[in-house]
Amino acid sequence: MEFSRLAEIFSKLTAKRLEITDDIAGLLGECPKKEVKRVVYLITGELLPQHYGIELGMGDKLCIRAIALVSGKSDGEVAAHYRKSGDLGDTAQELLKAKSQRTLGSSKLSTEKVYENFYKIATSGGNGSQDLKIKLLADLLGNATPLEAKYIIRFVTGKLRLGAGEATVIDALSVLKAKDKSLRPELERAYNFTSDLGLVAELFFEKGIEGTTHLRAKPFSPIQPALAERLPTTEGIMEKLGECAAEGKYDGFRLQVHKQNEKIEIYSRRLEKMTHMFPDLVAEFRKIKAKEFIIEGEAIVFDEKRNRFLPFQATIQRKRKHGIAEKAKLLPLKFFVFDLLYLNGKDYTEKPYGERRKKIDEAFSEGKIVAPSEYIIAKDVQELQEFFEHALGEGLEGIMAKDLASPYTAGARKFSWIKLKKSYGEGLTDTVDGVVVGFYLGKGKRTKFGFGGLLTAVYDEEGNRYRTVCKIGTGFSEEQMAWFEKTLSKISVKEKPASVDALIDADVWVQPKYVVEINAD
């Protein structure tokens, strides 16, 4: 498939979901079977699913140099145009319009060629890697039409923003084969258990919906996490669930851990590979007798001297690229297992939670660092209320109540799990003002807005610095998301401002200019 066809569709996609779905379905209908996996990855703006840990890592400066090489402009001229346009993809398109794009004898760009160069850019490293990245990108731009160049640059800089998230592509696959969205549940199930939409699409093209039904939990294919509903009282929970399991709700990192023999991988709640950040936990997981498993749990810093869990602000310091070993000694983690998805060749996701819980106690009770989360079987409101108050007394956020008969609901938010925090029944008596220092790109349904949330900070007068306090991901209307993306993009900066101390990174950093009023639970 020629890349020009993708660029044409990219330019047509609108914010109207139905039109996006139909356009993508049409594009996939033209796609050869052998290319569908890569095309799906490109549509969703990724080279590979994020759990592979492969990112393009192409900064604006390197892109500017590549555009300059192909356009005949100087780096300074390209940079000046970019400052004016605000979009490096638009800059590439405009500057290459004035120059003949295809030299005599050169061939049209294929999707395969574009993807291969992207992959080489992402995986090149070491001495001379920057020059190689520029050469590979310039090779594409030199054979691209201006429109193709626009989307090549937007892709490598992570700013494709088509509004085509996983849900949209799943709908498009169903529309392509069934002419409606009736196949969505089966396709969504397959995606939730593989987190690889390209693989699902490839199997769907080869064998139809039957080709996806065998997809099950297996090591190193991260599973989309089950999500909890919430209720404000223990009475409401018991009315909803009846007799249920209740666990302490830890304020740490939710992690999904995969083991097969000596190989260990750790994934975040968003399924980013984080294994290298937790060498202390990796060592503990290797001690577990089970040869294969997929477990979920919460990692949290525990103060042995005071016998208390430390707040999230301490735990989040373990998420870092440098000084990992030193922080591991300073802030040792405990890991509390709260669910079992796979054990020694057996898929447990369809098993009722009560059975999964018993198996956790059997297989993961030997360690001091890795251990089952504390839980009870609550038969009435009084037992549940007493456990809730006990959890708060231990310094936990609250409790998580779980339906003993429910399977693992990958990627779904259902009342199989219900969380209860003290704040749900109270709410903040006041609001907090936070300075916006960054924002996150949209995922899923928010992809089309290019906005997924805010990173906020408070001003430390004594230190003359902005210190990050929270990430805000809820409470936005569609109009607000569009406004934030447009407004904050105008004050975006390439690097974290020197005046900002951040415990977590933003997708896009901005100048500390706007203040938001935060009301939280």
Of the residues 425, 451, 470, the one at which a domain ends: 425
Write out the chain's pLDDT in tens, 521 residues: 999 999 998 888 754 555 788 999 999 999 999 999 999 999 988 899 989 989 887 889 999 999 999 999 999 999 999 998 888 999 999 999 877 544 433 558 999 999 999 999 999 988 999 999 999 999 999 999 999 999 999 999 988 767 678 888 999 999 999 999 999 999 999 999 999 999 999 999 999 999 999 999 999 999 999 999 989 999 999 999 999 999 999 989 999 999 999 999 999 998 999 999 999 999 999 999 999 999 999 999 988 888 888 888 788 888 888 889 888 888 999 999 999 999 999 999 999 999 999 999 999 987 889 999 999 999 999 999 999 999 998 888 899 999 999 999 999 989 999 999 887 665 544 557 789 999 998 876 677 678 989 999 987 766 667 889 888 988 787 878 888 988 898 888 877 887 788 888 899 999 888 888 777 65
Same domain for 249 and 329?
yes
Of the residues 378, 406, 425, the one at which a domain ends: 425
Same domain for 439 and 387?
no
Question: How far is the C-alpha of 425 from the C-alpha of 234, rounded, in Å?
Answer: 10
Q: Which amino acid is at 38?
A: R
Model confidence pTM above 0.85 = no
Q: Is 341 helix (H, G, I), strand (E, B) or coil?
A: strand
Whether 409 is in a domain gets the answer: yes
Whether 416 is in a domain gets the answer: yes
Of the residues 425, 442, 457, the one at which a domain ends: 425
**Of 473, 492, 407, 476, nearest to 270 (Cα)?**
473
Query: Would you tell me the crossing angle of helices 234-241 and 381-393 to the nearest 10 degrees?
Result: 130
Same domain for 261 and 369?
yes
For the domain that residue 269 is a member of, what is the CATH number?
3.30.470.30
- Output 4-11 pairs: Cβ under 8 A, ≥24 positions apart: 4/108, 4/109, 4/145, 4/147, 4/148, 5/30, 5/111, 6/39, 6/42, 6/43, 6/111, 6/151, 7/145, 7/147, 7/148, 7/150, 7/151, 8/147, 10/151, 10/160, 10/162, 11/147, 11/151
Whether 3 is in a domain gets the answer: no
Residue 108: count of CB within 10 angstroms of its CB: 13
Same domain for 324 and 468?
no
Choosing from 37, 133, 150, 249, the catalytic residue is 249
- Residues found in the chain: 521
Query: Would you tell me the crossing angle of helices 197-207 and 36-43 to the nearest 10 degrees?
Result: 140
By CB neighbour count within 10 A (0-12 exposed, 13-18 middle, 19+ buried), where does 300 fall? buried
Confirm if 47 and 55 have CB atoms less than 8 A apart. yes
* Residue-range definition of the domain harbouring residue 410: 227-425
* Alpha-carbon Rg for the chain in angstroms: 25
- Number of separate domains in the chain: 2
Is 33 noted as a catalytic residue in this protein?
Answer: no
